[in-house]
Amino acid sequence: MQYRPLGRTGLEVSVIGFGASPLGDVFGVTDPEEGERAVHMAVDEGINLFDVSPYYGVTLAEERLGAALRGRRERVILSTKCGRYGVDNFDFSARRIAASIEESLGRLQTDHLDVLLAHDIEFGDLNQIIEETIPAMRQLQKQGKARYIGISGYPLRPLVRVVQAVPLDVVLSYCHYNLLADDMDAILAPVAEQFEVGLINASPFSMGLLTEQGPPEWHPAAKATRDAAKRAAEYARSRGADLAELALRFCFDYPRAATTLVGMVTREQVRKSLRALERPADRQLVREIHAIFGDAFNSSWLSGREENQ
């Protein structure tokens, strides 16, 4: 396993991060026992960053991850989130943040978190995030309930604004650095480096677009983007490659992100991530895939409040 520093936190995180949202059945019903075995394998293979949220499966993912990490908690860097609790259920108030961490600690069967992130801040009032949410999270840090704090979200500009406005330890961006998009590198990464904030990259498959089976029906990408991704998967297959594995390696090679979170819920998915890390990157094939994407490259979708786009 390879490790990188997470900003100025002093934490060394594995370049493969365990995204635990699938434990909450958010991509389909899963086998909880296999999910637990996947967590155990990941820990044994040196994957040390585990990220979850009360939103995933409406607390189910946290409950399952907490159970799976019994006896292994001291071997991992555990991250969860606050502020988002349902599709349209957001509360970034100081009072809710304080209650949320207590609930998460109980489900995760631990007395502290290593990282606490405000979840999908584009759905909140950024002034509240800056003036109320982050200070409340700092209080939890002082109480020893969270070692480090940060923010997460999809649109890049709100993340940049908050990083520039208030001291943070970590920022998580998803779907903005993978085979289909690299705008995080120009917009967010330089700001994270300037302020020494640890950068977490998430969703190397762009929420299923960069896989053989394709995205779920609810995926917000435009039809042209979906079609381009399907052509890319077919082309990779014709070259004897798997688009998802190519996508994984592309993200693992990105040096400005400390880690890339990969959603995993089976041992085979853990093995696939490990294989991608072991095999050399095919840069020529990556260039050919990028050519297939054409205008779909760096396309995005709306997420959050209108004023935060």
CA 306 to chain centre: 23
With H, G, I as helix, E, B as strand and everything else as coil, classify residue 69: coil
pLDDT by residue (tens digit) across 42-71? 999 999 999 999 999 999 999 999 999 999
Please tell me the distance from the alpha carbon of residue 61 to that of residue 32, in angstroms, as a whole number.
10
Residue 155 has pLDDT above 90, yes or no: yes
Over range 229-237, report the average pLDDT: 96
The radius of gyration of the chain from alpha carbons, rounded to an integer in Å, stands at 18
Would you tell me how many other CB atoms lie within 10 Å of the CB of residue 291? 11
State the pLDDT at residue 25.
85
Which CATH number is 3-214+242-280 given?
A: 3.20.20.100
Active-site residue identified among 55, 56, 85, 148? 56
Nearest alpha carbon to residue 86 among 122, 54, 125: 54
Q: What average pLDDT does the chain have? A: 96
Residue 179 has pLDDT above 90, yes or no: yes
Residue 6 has pLDDT above 90, yes or no: yes
State the pLDDT at residue 301.
94
| Model confidence band, residue 27 (pLDDT cutoffs 50, 70, 90) | confident
Please tell me the distance from the alpha carbon of residue 178 to that of residue 162, in angstroms, as a whole number.
23
Query: What percent of the chain lies above the pLDDT cut of 70?
Result: 100
User: Running DSSP on this structure, what letter comes out for residue 26?
Assistant: B
pLDDT by residue (tens digit) across 76-133? 999 999 999 999 999 999 999 999 999 999 999 999 999 999 999 999 999 999 999 9
Nearest alpha carbon to residue 80 among 88, 189, 69, 71: 69
Please tell me the distance from the alpha carbon of residue 223 to that of residue 210, in angstroms, as a whole number.
14
Taking the model in full, what pTM does it have? Answer: 0.96
Report domain extents, the chain.
Answer: 3-214+242-280
Over range 1-20, report the average pLDDT: 97
Residue 148 has pLDDT above 90, yes or no: yes
3 is catalytic: no
* Residue of higher predicted confidence among 98 and 26: 98
| Model confidence band, residue 240 (pLDDT cutoffs 50, 70, 90) | very high
